[in-house]
Amino acid sequence: MHEVISISAGHRCNHLSTQFFNCQEKKLYDEKRYKDNEFSVHLNPSTDKLNQTVSFSPRALIWESKGGNGSLGTYQYVQPEDYFYSDDAKKDKNENVMLTGSKVPRSEYQEALDNSATPIPQLNNEMAKYWSDYSKLIYDPTTFNNLKDWHHDLSKPNLPDFKGLDVHKFGSYELGVQEFDDNYLQEFFDGNLHRQLEQCDTLQGLNLMSSLDSAWSGFSSAMLLELRNELPKTTIFAWNYYKGELKGLNRALLPHWERQMKSSVVCNEEADLVFPLRLDESLSDWEQAGQTVRVLDSVNSLFEQKGEKMQSMTHLQDCVGVSDQTRKFVSSIFENSDYNYSFFDDYPVFRNGHKDPHVFSECLIQRGSTTNSTPNPRTLQTTEFLPSDTVPPQFQSPNSFDLQLSTTEKSRDVFLHWRDVASKYLRSAPDGDELVDNLGTIAATYEYGWYDDEDSGDDDF
């Protein structure tokens, strides 16, 4: 058994993690999947020998701001540290007073699940503001990790607020790095991470999910550095949401670009494979997670198959980056050659290079009954997509599809653009020269053929 632990940092990524584990829960009730899948890869089984039953909890570590869990407590239904009692009489009567804000009521969907009501209501944006509003599995208490001073802001759910004062936001990359290193590094590694590792027989790897539009970018980057130091031989896949501000060299966009640049450099150094996910701001967090889980579930379904069909994370890494293991960014993530989930696909051609970016390597994941192709060692087959009912209807189908992962020259466009931004605005910073050099070095690994060095490329944006 080769387990995979999924770590999600921030509210948006916790929605994605929830959708993924809800899909895992759906498979448990599918007779064929229960027979053919090794659920212990992503779920931790607990056997009740007396009643001859098995329960499953996600192999997950969730990082959230204070209050971001919604109605869900560390022990599912109770979150005592969020409340205080004014006197013993009130405590005996179970009369609570919220210390930091109003108590979040359980969602209509969760109430229906608890009461075994039928039919279960159809989720919508109003009913799924918190990821806990539709989470189906019972989490182990070691799953939850919360920021102490940064509070969830319902109006800006992906930008925590300092102590709920609406003055200082969890925004900059450096703030995220400092927050993790100063306040959580030792506690996390000696506590919840250690206990999750103890529940694994042979850890295969980690999924690390982050969103690069806030200080969660620096927080997850600092965590990734320490994870690599702690688990040097463990495969780590980074799943990053990138916000699509693409054009021009604009100083107003500098904090936005800085988060993306610095996080990407760390991922290039420490992760084994990086999935740069496009962030569609027209979608809610619930909808965005329902769309992206099609990719996350497709990749991770490879690792839970039994027998000869099972693939490892290292095998997928080899398939995607077969020509050069230094190319870690998945430049394109196409579903049925129709929709590209990769943020890098949004970038125009940066210089007078090739009109169509050169493809260094590509891997095809076939889900279910798709068009048969010529046998290829980089064509991987897995079961069809079985979405949870919590996935928005528009993203539940098709169940059978091809997902093509490619490493292309397109990554060069992104890193050259960032290098020009860093060279113009960040070179005077303490680590500015190093950042410029790192971005240029990464861009060079995605070069193919001849380029005109005199063309600065600025006019292309």
CB 25 within 8 A of CB 136: yes
The residues, ordered by sequence, that sit 6+ positions from 140 with a Cβ below 8 Å of its Cβ are: 44, 57, 58, 196, 199
Residue for token pair 């279960």: 120
> In the prediction, which pLDDT does 454 show?
47
Percent of the chain exceeding pLDDT 90 equals 67
**In Å, how far are 37, 202, 383, 388, 397 from 32, measured between CA atoms?**
8, 26, 10, 16, 19
Q: What's the full length of the chain, in residues?
A: 461
Reported confidence tier of residue 48, pLDDT bands at 50, 70, 90:
confident
Bridge partners, 405 (sequence order):
333, 363
Reported confidence tier of residue 374, pLDDT bands at 50, 70, 90:
low
Q: Give dist(CA 44, CA 89) in Å, integer.
A: 40
Least confident of 85-89, 305-309, 361-365, 412-416: 85-89
Bridge partners, 408 (sequence order):
359
CB 215 within 8 A of CB 171: yes
Higher-confidence residue: 456 or 404? 404
Nearest to 131 by CA among 117, 100, 101, 152: 152
Q: Give dist(CA 2, CA 312) in Å, integer.
A: 8
Q: Does 333 have pLDDT greater than 90? A: yes
Report CA dihedral (8, 383, 35, 387) to the nearest 10 degrees. Answer: 50
> Could you tell me the domains of the chain?
3-71+132-408 (3.40.50.1440), 413-460 (no CATH)
Q: Does 87 have pLDDT greater than 60? A: no
The 10s digit of each residue's pLDDT in 379-393 is: 999 999 999 999 999
Please tell me whether residue 256 adopts helix, strand or coil conformation: helix
Residue 313: exposed, middle, or buried by beta-carbon count in 10 A (0-12, 13-18, 19+)? Answer: buried
> In the prediction, which pLDDT does 345 show?
84
Rounded mean pLDDT of 317-329?
Answer: 84
Q: Give dist(CA 205, CA 137) in Å, integer.
A: 22
CB 346 within 8 A of CB 244: yes
Here the tokens at position 406 are 């490619």
> In the prediction, which pLDDT does 376 show?
73
Q: Does 81 have pLDDT greater than 60? A: no
Nearest to 69 by CA among 160, 5, 6, 173: 160
> In the prediction, which pLDDT does 80 show?
47
Least confident of 72-81, 131-140, 228-237, 315-324: 72-81
Q: Does 117 have pLDDT greater than 60? A: yes
> In the prediction, which pLDDT does 398 show?
95
Q: What is the mean pLDDT of the chain?
A: 87
Reported confidence tier of residue 249, pLDDT bands at 50, 70, 90:
low
> In the prediction, which pLDDT does 58 show?
97
What pTM was computed for the model?
0.91
**In Å, how far are 11, 108, 354, 455 from 461, measured between CA atoms?**
31, 47, 17, 13
